[in-house]
Amino acid sequence: MSTQQGEMTEAPMIEVWRGSVRQWEVDENSHWNTQYYVARANESLAVLFGLNGLTGLFSPISPTTIAYNEHHIRFHREAHAGTSLHMTGGFLEIGETTAFAVLMLYNSHSGQLAASFRVRLTHVDAADLKTPLSWPTTFREKASASLVDAPKEALARGTGNEPVTISASRDRAITLGLKRTAMSLIEPEACDAFNRLGPQKFIGAVGGGVKQLTGPIRELVSKHAETPPGKVGGAVLEFRILYGETPRLGDCFEIWGGLKKTDQRVMSLIFWMVDPFTGRVFGTMQSVAVVFDLDARAIVQISPAATEALAPLVTEGLAL
């Protein structure tokens, strides 16, 4: 049962990370690559736990650690090479073995919000990385005494927030005619201290093959745009990620993706990461994205003609 905030006054978020965007972390559109947002959020969580009295959770010698259950991420403003940033955070809920955290990433010069993260996780035994364990009493008491409320900017907008059951499967991907966008091996640089695939690398794996799916979509949106765009690329507004079985060092994976729906401005894409041999489901992600005019720095609207042209690419019933 979750510890309730009751009548306590809301505590302020605390600073948990500060740094900047490195040149090699930007993509071909000159945007900070989404996997690095999540990498910095991981670092922020380590600090947040430490400041609440639970240090070393991410160390390879720790007897316990955390397992990610879900990420919800919104990208509010672009970040580019050299941008100075900082992160604040706090806990929304503390359960017997679970926690729900919120992190807010800001441009340190302008003060504008760059991204927000809500993260659900479980405290687990490091021996098997899946057995839930109760939080230490001192941590739970300290964290529960300083719970925060989620800022409205961190709430779901395009992904939904209702509890869902993962519907992904390799067989279903083939039946639905989804596009295989990536297939590869999990190597050491993609893993954390426990030889698990890090969540930022899950996003990196999806991003590495995303054009296999979005290339034809961008072409159709550009071709049928009411105002012809300049050079186009893509931009992500929001992610919702549910984690399944944890992939480990040496596992192979493949990613299947499809177009869920579009409206006049955005498209919703679904990606499933699975084991190509056993069919184990490693995770599933909804991405709310736009076609972006890189010259005008503006979203390319999806015209009625583009919507009609995209209709054959929409997979009915596709979900997380």
Looking at this protein, which amino acid is placed at residue 63? Answer: P
What does each C-alpha distance from 186 to 69, 106, 195, 250 come to in angstroms?
20, 32, 10, 5
What mean pLDDT do residues 2-30 have? 75
- The tens digit of pLDDT for each residue in 123-143 reads 999 999 999 999 999 999 999
pLDDT at 184: 96
pLDDT at 115: 96
Question: What band does 10 get if pLDDT is binned at 50, 70 and 90?
Answer: low
What mean pLDDT do residues 114-127 have? 97
Distance CA(189)–CA(195), nearest Å, equals 9
Q: Residues 285, 286, 288, 290: what is their CA dihedral angle, to the nearest 10 degrees?
A: 60
User: Which of the following CATH numbers is that of domain 1-155: 3.10.129.10, 3.10.20.30, 3.40.470.10, 3.40.50.300?
Assistant: 3.10.129.10
Q: Are strands 298-299 and 281-293 parallel, antiparallel or unpaired?
A: antiparallel
Least confident of 2-6, 109-113, 239-243, 249-253: 2-6
pLDDT at 7: 43
DSSP for 169-222, please give it.
-HHHHHHHT-EEEEEEE--GGGB-TTSBBPHHHHHHHHHHHTHHHHHHHHHHHH
User: Is residue 193's pLDDT more than 80?
Assistant: yes
Distance CA(256)–CA(75), nearest Å, equals 23
- The residues facing 290 across adjacent strands are 235
Least confident of 92-101, 162-171, 253-262, 266-275: 162-171
Instruction: List Cβ neighbours of 77 (8 Å cut-off, separation of 6 or more).
Output: 107, 112, 113, 114
DSSP for 62-96, please give it.
-SEEEEEEEEEEEE-S---TT-EEEEEEEEEEE-S
Distance CA(291)–CA(299), nearest Å, equals 6
User: Is residue 252's pLDDT more than 90?
Assistant: yes
Is 139 strand, coil or helix? helix
- The tens digit of pLDDT for each residue in 42-79 reads 999 999 999 999 999 999 999 999 999 999 999 999 88
User: Is residue 109's pLDDT more than 90?
Assistant: yes
214 and 234 Cβ atoms separated by less than 8 Å: yes
Least confident of 60-74, 204-218, 273-287: 204-218
Establish whether domains 1-155 and 157-320 are of one fold. Answer: yes
Q: Residues 279, 289, 164, 278: what is their CA dihedral angle, to the nearest 10 degrees?
A: 0
pLDDT at 133: 98
Distance CA(93)–CA(4), nearest Å, equals 7
116 and 153 Cβ atoms separated by less than 8 Å: yes
Instruction: List Cβ neighbours of 151 (8 Å cut-off, separation of 6 or more).
Output: 102, 104, 116
Instruction: List Cβ neighbours of 236 (8 Å cut-off, separation of 6 or more).
Output: 34, 75, 287, 288, 289
Distance CA(317)–CA(298), nearest Å, equals 30
Could you tell me the two tokens for 144?
């529960």
CATH architecture of residue range(s) 157-320: Roll (3.10)
Distance CA(193)–CA(169), nearest Å, equals 28
pLDDT at 234: 83
User: Is residue 1's pLDDT more than 60?
Assistant: no
What mean pLDDT do residues 183-195 have? 95
Residue that has been written with the tokens 């201290």 in this structure: 193
pLDDT at 298: 84
What mean pLDDT do residues 142-160 have? 93
Domain ranges of the chain: 1-155, 157-320
